[in-house]
Structure 1
Amino acid sequence: MEFNIGPRMVKTGLAAAVTLIITGMLNLELEIVAAIASVLAMQPSIMRSFEYIKEVVISNLIGLVFSILGTFLLGNHPLSVGAVVIISIAINIKLGLTKTVSLTVLTIITLMLSSDAGLDLVYIYERLSLVAIGVLSAFLVNIAVFPPNHQKILYGMIKEAEEKINFLMRVLPSKAMSVPKIKEEDREIEKLITKSKDYYEIISDERTRLFIRNKLNFLRNIIIYKHMIRVIQKQYTLVIQLEKNIEAIEKISSDHPYLIKELVAEINSYSENVFLMYEDKIILDTDLQKEAKTAMRLTINNLIDELQGSDFTRWSYVFPVANGIIELFNELEKLEKLVRFKQLKDTKR
């Protein structure tokens, strides 16, 4: 059982601590409300924290209005609170304020259940201050403590997925791994690809931040990461097609498996080289790459020529693999051009 304490956990704990210290200094009651608000408000990026604050303002206004109406029209009976919560959640979702639903519910419950004497301006101000302190504490801690290096985190995810896929592409044609182990690796790769796509959305949000050092370089990296994710998706599609069809291909032909294995080895090497070039670990000679690509295209053409006149069964097994190789090759070419363009711009700085 793994036990990891990540930066976001630390920041959430610090935000709760800062919130409790501030509410204690101001002698505010129900400080637990502010602490809960700080935990709910902790976001994975600075930009998302900023967007969250904007959403909090709108959703809490909705919560405030419904709390006042609910208290005066229905009282503060638990059933009344439940009815107001249901209506406010429905309106929040209708307005697209899904991220702050929990905070809106917290505001409504705090306002409606804690006042036996009814609502007045001082009481409303104090209760809303608790939520504001919690949200702002989370925002400030997110900026000041362990500001996330999103590019490094995202590339780490992509690189891990790419390495796992490259490993599978090496062992699948030679059947050097058991089926259960292959399935286990497949699940891990699927998780990494999903995490990469989700995290890309986080880093993509950062494009609208006002203060980014070397914004052009940041935007170039964003485009590269997008294409890297496409590459690992195409790689994984090819892996799945190899798993499904390689045995059948070997049974129906003696030439096709050799050509496919040669192509897979070449494209695997090409993929690794492009990623290493992005990391500045190797320099890819343009002329040598052109020769390698030409050789790859000739092998693909040979494979297609071999299929000419074949019956449907052969096509049904070989075509998905050949198509996967071609699509992956095209994506890798695009990625290589983007990486070379980035390196050219970096050297001119």
Structure 2
Amino acid sequence: MEFNIGPRMVKTGLAVVLTLLITNMIGLELQLVAAIAAVLAMQPSIMRSFAYIKEVLISNGVGLVFALLGILLLGSHPLSVGVVVIISIAINIKLGLNKTVSLTVLTIVTLMLASSDGVSFIYVIERLSLVAIGVLSAFIINVLIYPPDHQKILFAMIKEASEKTNFLLRVIPNQTMSLPQMKGEDRETEKLINKTKSYYEIISDEKTSLFIRKKIDFLRNIVIYKHMIRVLEKKYTLIQSLEKNLDHIETISSGKSHLIKKLVSEINMYSENILLMYEDKVILDKDLQKVAKSAMRVTINNLIEELQGSGFEKWTYLFPIASSIIELFYELDKLERFVRLKELRGRSRDGK
């Protein structure tokens, strides 16, 4: 059994500690509410924490209004609390405030559980302060403790997904893997790509952050990562096309099958080289790379020529693969240009 404590878990614990210290210092009751708010408010990035606070202000405003109306019109009976919670959730969702629904419910329940002294201005301020302290504690900890290196994390995910797709593009044409293994690898690859795309959305949110050093370099890398993910998607599309159609093409025409296998191998190597070039592990000669790309273009043209005059059955199997190869080659060519541009800017900055 693996027991892994990540930075976000540590930060959540520290946010709870900070929350309890502040509420103790001020002397507020119901510290549990503030602690829960801190846990709910911990976000995967600084900008998402900032956006969360803005959303909390609006959603808790809605919650406050409905909680007060509920107390005045319906009282603090459990059934009344339930009705107010249902209405406020519906309104929050309608306003697109989905992320803070749980915190809004917490605010409403906290406000409607009135003390024997009834609801006063001081009572409302104290209850709202509990939520505010929890949310702000989570934000402060997120900014100061273990600020995530999103670029490093995202590139590691891209690299892992890329290695997986490269592996599949090597084994599928040679048919060296059983069908159950292939399906398992497919599912794992798809999960990796989807996880990478989701994490890209987090790093993309950081574009407007004030906490980024070397912002221009960050923005350039964001563009490169976006194209790397597009390449991953195109590679996965090619993998699916090969799995579905290559056996049929082998039966129809071994010549066309050999042409496709050769092209897939060349494009796969091209993909690996671009990633290595981005990591500064290899230096690809521009002229030699032009020759290699020209050779790939010739092979693609040969494949298109082979398609011309073919019957409908051959088109059904050949076209999806040919289309996937062309789209992947186009994305790789574009990615290479961005990586070379980054390399040139790095050299000019270093004065080389």
Report the residue type matching 1:2 in the other structure. Answer: E
- Hey, what does 2:34 align to over in structure 1? 34
Q: Report how far residue 213 of structure 1 moved.
A: 1.2
For residue 211 of structure 1, report the CA deviation from its aligned partner: 3.4
Between 141-150 and 90-99, the greater mean CA deviation after superposition? 90-99
Give matches, 1:251-290, under 5 Å: 251-290=251-290
Give SS of 2:254's match.
coil
Q: Provide Cα deviations, 1:121-175, integer angstroms capped at 9, x if missing partner.
A: 1111111111111001100110111100111111111111110000010011111
Q: In the alignment, what sits opposite 2:219? A: 219
Does residue 297 of structure 1 match 2:273? no
Runs of 5+ consecutive residues of structure 1 not aligned to the other structure:
none
Query: Which letter maps to 1:203?
Result: I
* 2:22 counterpart residue number: 22
Between the aligned partners of 2:307 and 2:48, the Cα distance in structure 1 is 52
CA drift of 1:307 comes to 2.3
Alignment of 1:1-349 (within 5 A): 1-349=1-349
What CA distance in whole angstroms lies between the structure 2 residues aligned with 1:203 and 1:280?
22
4+ long deviations beyond 3 Å: none
Contact 1:45/1:142 (CA < 8 Å) preserved in 2?
yes
What SS class does the counterpart of residue 306 from structure 2 fall into?
A: helix
Question: What secondary structure does 1:173 align onto?
Answer: helix
Please report the TM-score for the alignment, with normalisation by the length of structure 1: 0.98
Q: For 1:147 and 1:44, how far apart are their aligned partners in 2?
A: 10
Contact 1:246-1:257 at 8 Å conserved across structures: yes
Q: Secondary structure of the equivalent of 1:275?
A: helix
Number of equivalences: 349
Instruction: Name the SS for the 1:284 alignment partner.
Output: coil
Native 8 Å contact 1:71 1:118 kept in 2 = no
Deviations 1:281-336 (A, max 9, x none): 11111100100011111111112222222111111111111111110000000000
For each residue in 1:5-42, what CA deviation from the matched residue of structure 2 results, as whole angstroms up to 9, or x when unmatched?
Answer: 11111111111121112212222110000000000000
The offset of 1:114, in angstroms, is 3.7
- How far is 1:100 from its partner? 0.8
1:77-114 CA-partner distances (Å, limit 9, x unpaired): 00100111111111111211111111111000001014
- Report SS of the residue matched to 2:173: coil
Say which is worse superposed, 15-24 or 162-171, in terms of deviation. Answer: 15-24
Letter in 1 for 2:319: F
Alpha-carbon distance between aligned partners in 1 of 2:211 and 2:35, rounded to the nearest angstrom: 29
**AA aligned opposite 2:222:** I
CA drift at 1:3: 2.7
The one-letter code of the counterpart of 2:39 is V
**Counterparts of 1:117 and 1:72 in 2: how far apart (Å)?**
14
Cα deviations across residues 258-299 of structure 1 (Å, max 9, x unaligned)? 101100000000000000111111111110010001111111
* Structure 1 contact 48–205 (Cα < 8 Å) conserved: yes
Equivalent position SS for 1:255: helix
- Cα RMSD between the aligned structures? 1.0
Residue identity over aligned pairs, in percent, reads: 70
Distance 2:2 2:180 in 1: 23
1:20–1:34 Cα contact (<8 Å) kept: yes
The letter of the residue matching 1:280 is D
